[in-house]
Amino acid sequence: MATIAFPGSNQGCAGVDPDSALRYVARQPILDLQGKVYGYELLFRSGPETIFRGDSEFATRTMIDNTVLFGIEKLTGSLPAFVNCTGEALIREQVGLLPPGITVLEILETVEPVPELIQACRHLKSLGFRLALDDFVWKPSLEPLIRIADYIKFDFILSGEIERRKMLARLKGIPAVLLAEKVETQLDYQRASAEGFTLFQGYYFCRPTLLTRRKVPANQMSHIEMLRLLQETPLDLRRASEAVKRDAALTYRLLRLVNSPACAMRQEVRSISAALMALGEDVFRRIATLAITSELNSGQPAEILRMAFVRARFCELAAASCGLNTLEQYLMGMFSMLPAMLRAPMEEILSALPLRTEIRCALLGEPNPERTLLAWLEGNEQGGLAGL
């Protein structure tokens, strides 16, 4: 889960008390059967800690305020936004400030389905909001909400297979979309698909634990070899250029990046050599790394690549405040997602990359100063599973 710290003050190094003016939102992707991002669940965080602690009513009010202040469309790219709601927020229609077209109101499992709440939910539905029942456990009092729910979410850790089978039988004929959350392995994903779930939330796509003996394909090893060349100091421009040119798809991707508005080139760049001359060694190294990483992620959910970019950028920006090397931290954030991209163990991938021992140990999960920022990010991503 990506954690977004909204501007308002300077954020210090991990472990340093944050300025109270900084706003935090945890964002977790929800995927469809094709592995594409369907939407995001937005969760309130009071600070850079990994899980929610505090009052649910305050969290809901603040979450609504954050989405209004910064724009829910920017947080989700205009995809559906799942927002946790307490009974009070629904009955008093505090959620009315959110855009109905892309907002899914998640009714927390702790909410009592009293007549007042059911009436409020029906009215919110008439305004265009969609409703989701969170951490669903069947009970007769929920039937009025089940009939109008657009999504029903099952906790795949708390609900066993037999229990789910019984509840799914009760839901037969209900048009609501079934969403499996806390899906953490490929086996969980396959089981949920077989049971009729069509949306998935969790880290199954980022944890290739079932494929630890899989070898990296030869064509992807050539990309890792290019990454190895790009990390050498000084950069051997001739060898790096030749390596990139041998891969037509990578050449196309690199030139597309070089000619994008982000690079603001005055005239079109049409060759790898010209890109090297125009960009300079450091910028070329970064653009080429992005291009290769994008190519490595081919065939995997786009969210994996998005998370890699978020991790890389965060680690780079926060590195200086922690006394760490910015380039190393950028690469570590990016490379931390390689196992998910390649569906292979980190140990095998690292054997092909000339990284310092400390960086290698950090990527393998060993605690050290170089791992500080990445550990903080991973903690937020995994802690977000706790929800409210």
State percent of the chain over pLDDT 90.
23
Q: Which residue has the higher pLDDT, 159 or 20?
A: 159
Q: How confident is the model at residue 8 (pLDDT cuts 50, 70, 90)?
A: very low
Q: Which DSSP symbol is given to 19?
A: P
pTM of this structure? 0.55
- List beta partners, residue 4: 25
Mean pLDDT on 25-51: 70
Q: How confident is the model at residue 24 (pLDDT cuts 50, 70, 90)?
A: low
* From 128-132, 193-197, 306-310, the region with the lowest mean pLDDT: 306-310
**DSSP letters along 163-214, please?**
HHHHHHHHTTT--PEEEEEEE-SHHHHHHHHHTT--EEEESGGG--GGGTTP
Q: Which of 121-135, 256-270, 371-385 reaches the highest mean pLDDT?
A: 121-135
Q: How far apart are alpha carbons 151 and 160 in whole angstroms?
A: 20
Q: Which residue has the higher pLDDT, 281 or 310?
A: 310
pLDDT on residue 209: 34
pLDDT on residue 71: 64
137-150 per-position pLDDT tens digit? 988 999 999 999 99
For the cut 60, the answer to whether the pLDDT of residue 62 exceeds it is no
pLDDT on residue 53: 44
Distances (CA, A) of 154 to 23, 134, 161, 331: 29, 7, 11, 36
Q: Which DSSP symbol is given to 368?
A: S
pLDDT on residue 179: 96
Which of 373, 273, 363 has its CA nearest to residue 322? Answer: 373
Q: How confident is the model at residue 51 (pLDDT cuts 50, 70, 90)?
A: very low
For the cut 70, the answer to whether the pLDDT of residue 338 exceeds it is yes
* From 212-216, 240-244, 345-349, 352-356, the region with the lowest mean pLDDT: 212-216
Q: Which DSSP symbol is given to 265?
A: -
210-232 per-position pLDDT tens digit? 333 344 454 566 777 777 777 77
pLDDT on residue 231: 72
pLDDT on residue 23: 45
Mean pLDDT for the chain overall: 76
Strand, coil or helix: what is 137? coil
For the cut 90, the answer to whether the pLDDT of residue 352 exceeds it is no
Q: How confident is the model at residue 244 (pLDDT cuts 50, 70, 90)?
A: confident
Q: Which DSSP symbol is given to 246?
A: T
Dig out the tokens for 248 from the structure.
Answer: 């037509």
One-letter-per-residue 3-state SS of 33-74: CCCCEEEEEEEEECCCCCCCCCCHHHHHHHHHHHHHHHCHHH
pLDDT on residue 80: 93
Q: How confident is the model at residue 9 (pLDDT cuts 50, 70, 90)?
A: very low
Strand, coil or helix: what is 147? helix
Mean pLDDT on 23-49: 71
Please, where are the H alpha helices in the chain?
A: 56-70, 72-76, 87-91, 115-126, 143-148, 161-170, 186-194, 218-230, 237-245, 248-258, 272-279, 281-296, 302-319, 326-335, 338-342, 346-350, 357-363, 372-383
Mean pLDDT on 338-357: 79
